[in-house]
Chain A
Amino acid sequence: MKTVSAPARSKSVYYDSAVAGNPALEELREVWNYRNLIYQLTRRDVLSRYKRSVLGVAWTMLNPLGMMLVLTIAFSQVFRFDTELSYPAYVLSGLVVWNFFSQTTTAAMVNLVWGGGLLHRIYVPRTSFALAAILTGVVNLLFAMIPLLLVMLITRVPFSFTILLFPVPLLLLAAFALRVGLMISTFAVYFPDVSEMYAIAILGWMYLTPVIYPESILPDAYRSLITGLNPMYYMVKLFRTVVYFGQLPAPSDLLVAALISLVFLTAGWIIFTRKAGEFSYRI
């Protein structure tokens, strides 16, 4: 055996900090390499949720249903919102989207903090936790679609083929949620109280988004402010357009939502992957 002056590139695992490239692209490659981890994390989240109680799966469906019932009683009787077809289906379609958003972003944060103990011992792509949270959310949303369709059936909302397009808004929503999840989990790594603050913030955010009320009740003075500056407005609207109203989305709405998702996610990904190198000082 001879002295190895310059390491020969072996086909086995090889790491050289000097040849590490752009962190954002590197992360993408590593996510692919670690796809089994993301699958396992998703599986864990889905299974642990549904194992804990017999009502597990049912709960995913009952929770928004219960909220819908309360809201229906409160609002359709007291305020008499005009939501055209059926208030219960209207509110439920909004809640399905909102629950996806709030659950996935919160889970991204919880997962990353949970994984903290491991993150400074072994290398795993830091985005895996947020990605797994999003995938878990997609599974839960698919379950939550069942009661939505039932309520639409019962309240005689006409079904349109456009329902089949729901993966399109879901994809944009998932991209946006991933970005928000990455951003707040970065904060949560540094400050543990961020998760409480986020819980309050997201509640406020929901009331500023036409989820449980129709857009038409917004005062004209604020309407453009609330709709224009709120990315979630487009996500909720897009989903509702194809599922509840049974229409094809207006190209301009689709374009805005797609742009929001793409720009936000790209920026968030770059910031997160750059910051992620520092996490192991903190966690």
Chain B
Amino acid sequence: MVEIDSADEKEEIIRLENVSVRYSAPSERFNTFKEYAIRYLQGKVRHEVFLALHDVSLSVYKNEIFGIIGNNGAGKSTMLKLIARVLRPSSGRVWVKGRVAPLLELGAGFHPELSGRENIYLNGAMLGFTRKEMDQKFASIVEFSEVGDFIEAPLRTYSSGMWARLGFSVAIDVNPDILILDEILSVGDESFQRKCLNRIDQIIKGNATILFVSHNMALVEQMCQRAVWLDHGVVKAIGDAREVVDAYRRSQT
């Protein structure tokens, strides 16, 4: 049997040490400020403390595909936010070595009035790249996206498929050390999808680490070496992906 969790030979790239995320939210949901203000004056606003993650410790190693599973509200996206440094832990320590990039919701952050070219630079800047770096990436992004001459046309003239392909091409050209995949790709036609999967394969071979979040257990088993199962902010199981998925499946029946 292969002991996947023996870490001695691998380089740690993400580590969470006793991480908790706590936040207080009003116990009711207020959609408007007026509502809130009235309730506040009535003294009826109560805050509840939520523990999105509770005392989580784990390590992810270089060049592995690490699965994150669990039901909705289990803390999966909170964990991704911690790793992407969008969120700071309330206690504990998070350290991450390398550039983290999510595969953005395709084309999120695009502006319809700007040309494909301008949007590529804008999106690149959001991922933290300088103009020079984007100059170098530009040609390969355009080529990968297959939008061709449309690159100088405003995005509102694009078909939805072209829009998504361009978004994917920017995200995938980042060459991050850690890639967050939190939804399975459904971009464009089958041939483009195959191209995307090939590209992800290349990224993995290029020594990147992948965090894969999915509700598709078969896919997690197939793709990931290791996985963690979160439940209500607590680690239920961690280790070999197959075993973790098995444990999860047993709990669901």
B97 partner residues in chain A, CB cutoff 8 A: 7, 10, 12-15
Task: Report yes or no: A3 in contact with B23, Cβ–Cβ below 8 A.
Answer: no
A47 partner residues in chain B, CB cutoff 8 A: 113-114, 118
In whole angstroms, how far apart are the Cα atoms of A51 and B155 in the complex?
13
Is A167 close to B, CB under 8 A? no
Could you tell me which residues of chain B, from 102 to 125, have a CB within 8 Å of some CB in chain A?
Answer: 102, 104-105, 108-109, 111, 113-114, 118, 121-122, 125
The answer to whether residues A193 and B34 also contact, given A13-B99, A122-B101, A281-B25 and a CB cut-off of 8 A, is: yes
- Binary A-proximity of B122-135 (CB < 8 A = 1, otherwise 0): 10011111110000
In whole angstroms, how far apart are the Cα atoms of A67 and B251 in the complex?
68
The answer to whether residues A20 and B111 also contact, given A193-B33, A281-B23 and a CB cut-off of 8 A, is: no
- Give min CB distance, B243 to chain A, whole Å: 23
Q: Give how many A-B residue pairs fall within 8 Å (CB-CB).
A: 133
B77 partner residues in chain A, CB cutoff 8 A: 120
* Stretch in B83-91, B136-144, B200-208, B228-236 with 4+ CB within 8 Å of A: B83-91
Number of chain B residues whose Cβ lies closer than 8 Å to a Cβ of chain A:
53
Is B8 close to A, CB under 8 A? yes
Task: Report yes or no: B94 in contact with A122, Cβ–Cβ below 8 A.
Answer: no
- Give min CB distance, B181 to chain A, whole Å: 12
Q: Which of A33, A39, A197, A278 contacts B128 (CB 8 A)?
A: A33
- Give min CB distance, B23 to chain A, whole Å: 6
Q: Which of B30, B89, B109, B130 contacts A17 (CB 8 A)?
A: B89
B127 partner residues in chain A, CB cutoff 8 A: 122
Could you tell me which residues of chain A, from 1 to 52, have a CB within 8 Å of some CB in chain B?
Answer: 1-4, 7, 10, 12-18, 20, 33-34, 36-37, 39-41, 43-44, 47-48, 51-52
Q: Which of B12, B33, B114 contacts A191 (CB 8 A)?
A: B33
- Give min CB distance, A244 to chain B, whole Å: 35
B131 partner residues in chain A, CB cutoff 8 A: 36
Select from chain A the residue with minimum beta-carbon distance to B102.
A121
- Give min CB distance, A128 to chain B, whole Å: 9
Is A194 close to B, CB under 8 A? yes
For the complex of A and B, the 8 pairs showing the least CB-CB separation, nearest first, are: A191-B33, A40-B125, A37-B125, A193-B32, A48-B113, A16-B95, A17-B94, A18-B93
26 contacts between A and B (CB under 8 A): A1-B10, A3-B12, A4-B11, A13-B98, A13-B99, A14-B97, A15-B85, A16-B93, A17-B89, A17-B92, A17-B93, A36-B130, A39-B125, A40-B122, A43-B118, A43-B122, A44-B111, A44-B118, A47-B114, A117-B105, A120-B77, A122-B127, A191-B30, A193-B32, A280-B81, A281-B23
Q: A7-B95, A51-B113 are in contact. List 10 more A-B contacts (CB 8 A).
A: A4-B11, A15-B97, A33-B128, A44-B122, A47-B113, A48-B114, A115-B109, A122-B127, A124-B126, A194-B33
